[in-house]
Amino acid sequence: MSAPTLQAAPATRPLRTARTRHYAMCPPTHFDVVYAINPWMHPGTPVDVDRALSQWAGLVAVFESLGHRVDVLPPAPGLPDMVFAANGATVVDGRALGASFAHAERRAEADLHAGFLTDLGIEVHRPQHVNEGEGDFAVAGDWLLAGTGFRTSTAAHAEAQELFGRPVVTLHLVDPRFYHLDTCLTVLDDLHGQATVAWYPPAFSAGSQAVVARLFPDALEASEADALAFGLNAVSDGRHVVLPQQAGQLAADLAARGFEPVGVDLSELLAAGGSVKCCTQELRAPRTS
């Protein structure tokens, strides 16, 4: 009699735990495409401000439905990219490194962000070097991942390390379509000092690809189609991952890893090269012992 066939037990998905977050966001009241500072922007492209406002309000509603706090930064006329609030600062352990924008068109945003954070009781460090906030900085466990190549300078990486006291990992971006780190990599969770990330490897230099693979051997790789749909411009609370609904395969892959993808439509803002994460600055509270 032949031996019984052993069948592998079904794989169990990891249990993901959401953590309540605090976000700063700015409505696209003055949204427009009147200059080009990334490959997605084409001046004269018609934009529907009412639709942009409706989509943005839908994103706020999703965050609030998940139990997160959203504070609203007042928009200012003449600054059409203020909706991309993630670029205005990086807040870690209750302190902020303010932004210093690479392009003149956005530089006035920095003081408005700094004043807003100060009013919330957050200490703001005025930067000495060019950085574009969470566009190029991402907290990943005990590390701070830092993009460079198109906007943020490597000198700003050292500045962030000194301020936050966290080791900074420099990652070089090489594809201008992915001009900020948050367009091609997202942190999904950061439990016990070790993070899980999703990314699009071709956006990075060969050396930086090797670094990410070494630090995050279980990283989820997105397809080019989902990356171009800004699927990696996502926001995660450790369980729920809010991302553009057009990134369908990425959503399925996240679900297979035990996350709960929440699709939203921010297609109007893609005309300026931004989506979910670009609109969302996280205000991280001081660590508790």
Q: Provide the annotated active-site residues.
A: 180, 278
* Spatial CB neighbours of 111, under 8 Å, sequence gap ≥ 6: none
Distance from the Cα of residue 22 to its chain's centroid: 14
Q: What single-letter DSSP state applies at residue 105? A: G
Q: Indicate the pairing of strand 185-191 with strand 194-199.
A: antiparallel
Contact (Cβ atoms closer than 8 angstroms) between residue 168 and residue 146: yes
Distances (CA, A) of 123 to 150, 152, 214, 279: 28, 21, 34, 22
Tokens representing 152 are 């943020």
Half-sphere exposure of 69 (CA within 13 A, CB side): 9
In Å, how far are 7, 61, 67, 144, 247 from 55, measured between CA atoms? 47, 10, 19, 30, 16
Q: Which of 177, 174, 216, 212 is nearest to 195 (CA)?
A: 216
Query: Which alpha helices (DSSP H) does 71-223 contain, by range?
Result: 109-119, 154-164, 206-215
Strand-pair partners of 7: none
CA distance 36 to 23: 27
Task: Name the helix (H) or strand (E) containing 167.
Answer: none
Q: Indicate the helix (H) or strand (E) that contains 261.
A: strand 260-264
